[in-house]
Amino acid sequence: MAAFPISPHFTPLLLSHLLLFHLLHAHPPLISALNITALLSPFPDLSDFNNLLTTSSVSSDLSLRSSLTLLAVPNRFLRSSDLLHHPSTTTSIADVLRFHVLLQYLSWSDLIHVPPNGKLVTTLFQTTGRATADLGSVNITRNPSDSTVSVRSTNSSSTSTTVLSLVKTLPYNVSIFTVNSFLVPSDFDLMASENQPSVGFNITKILIDGHNFNVAASMLTASGVAKEFEDDEGGAGITFFVPTDMAFADLPTMERLQSLPADKKAVILRFHVLHSYYPLGSLESILNPVQPTLATEGIGAGRYTLNITRFNGSVAIDTGIVQASITQTVFDQNPVSIFAVSRVLLPREIFGNKAMGSTGSGSGMLGASPPEVFLSPQDSPSLDSPPARLSSPPGFREDIRSNAAIIELHKAVALLCIVFNYLVW
């Protein structure tokens, strides 16, 4: 039983059952939680802010996250803020605090190097589903004349807050800056947020709300793949790399892409999805750079893989013929993360190895495939070890919030396995 014959001819059916088996029998992840209360406690000037995080329970929202930037309001500014004197509900305060949690690790150097047209960063508030459109993101800008860094809601007519100093940094995981005022999301009704239910997971809506992803949204809808990515109970444990409209506009092979038959288009869309939830921090520290995609699962091990590496302060994604980078977190709520990417990820299995216009059939490309395969022999003999695709940095599994989330993930994976078996057979 221990020695399991693995070959490149391993059938997708067996593969998905094996994967399912592994997932269902995986040991609970080791949790090394982020304790934001403890991180803030050495700073007496942040005691009120720290208390608010605790009483609103936003601190526990953060305990299983990595890769974030906290904008903390020191006591002297907090006590003079009218926010706390407003007869608002606890949920409203919690949402305002969530707006101060940026879902990306930013160093001081990242802040002073923000491009002239600003840098958009998603906040924890965006993930509640209570933010209108993309107003749960903040725009970080730097004034070139006096070098001050400001953060405001994406609605440019909204008020802004100024970054004062860096108080704490744990590289690539957490940084804490002080700011001189609370930042209230624009269009935010302090009285209203409590009773608004959070919306279900609707990938098309998220993309349309993001404004910059209209081509991807319409391709997803037209191909019917959107439904495949969604799950009625909040999503199927996926990481989706969505090309911006600009990425599609820049595509030399756009006509070729558009003239592909529907099933090939669907394969290309699946090629943009990893079948696991990875927040940005986990992608940045990924140990096994060659990751299978949903397209791999329909076709076979070692093909349709993405090579993901940390590069130049961002995450680079290499398909073998296209190099893209992550430009923005569009959505991040376990078990679904969506990142904007700068280029359309063209699989070399369809678009060939050299000129993008060449008609690669795929079979000729196998020699050029990365050595990494879906289940490599050294990883697979024991049924107790997780499959190679799940080898991940220690931090990755910490992002799976609770056993309940894991069970949801298992159910979703089981569903997907069934769907793919169905497609293959």
Q: Which stretch binds ligand NAG (CB under 6 A): 10-18, 188-196, 263-271, 392-400?
A: 392-400
Choice from 81, 91, 107, 173 touching ligand NAG (CB under 6 A) = 173
Token output for 357: 């216009």
Interface with ligand NAG, residue 291, by CB under 6 A: no
Interaction pattern, residues 178-217, with ligand NAG; x per rule: CB under 6 A: --------xx--------------x-xx--x---------
Q: Would you tell me how many other CB atoms lie within 10 Å of the CB of residue 425?
A: 8
Residues 2-21 that bind ligand NAG (CB under 6 A): none
Interface with ligand NAG, residue 395, by CB under 6 A: yes
Interface with ligand NAG, residue 290, by CB under 6 A: yes
Choice from 57, 148, 162, 309 touching ligand NAG (CB under 6 A) = 309
Instruction: Provide, rounded to whole angstroms, the least separation between the CB of residue 195 and ligand NAG.
Output: 20
Token output for 292: 């299978």
Q: Which stretch binds ligand NAG (CB under 6 A): 20-28, 78-86, 116-124, 238-246?
A: 116-124
Choice from 394, 402, 403, 407 touching ligand NAG (CB under 6 A) = 394
Q: Quick one: 208 or 356, whose CB is closer to ligand NAG?
A: 208
How many Å apart are CA 322 and CA 387, to the nearest integer? Answer: 27
Interface with ligand NAG, residue 117, by CB under 6 A: yes
Rounded to whole angstroms, what are the CA distances from 84 to 77, 96, 97, 130?
11, 11, 12, 20
Interface with ligand NAG, residue 307, by CB under 6 A: yes
Q: Would you tell me how many other CB atoms lie within 10 Å of the CB of residue 335?
A: 25
How many Å apart are CA 100 and CA 293, to the nearest integer? Answer: 33
Interface with ligand NAG, residue 170, by CB under 6 A: yes
**HSE-up (13 A, CA, CB side) for residue 60:** 5
Q: Quick one: 173 or 376, whose CB is closer to ligand NAG?
A: 173
Choice from 318, 332, 349, 379 touching ligand NAG (CB under 6 A) = 318
Region of residue 108 (left: phi > 0; alpha: psi -120 to 50; beta: else): alpha
Interface with ligand NAG, residue 158, by CB under 6 A: yes
Question: Terminus-to-terminus CA distance in the chain, angstroms?
Answer: 26
Q: Quick one: 187 or 255, whose CB is closer to ligand NAG?
A: 187
How many Å apart are CA 207 and CA 77, to the nearest integer? Answer: 36
Which residues, other chains included, contact 300 with Cβ-Cβ below 8 Å and sequence gap of 6+?
A: 8, 12, 374
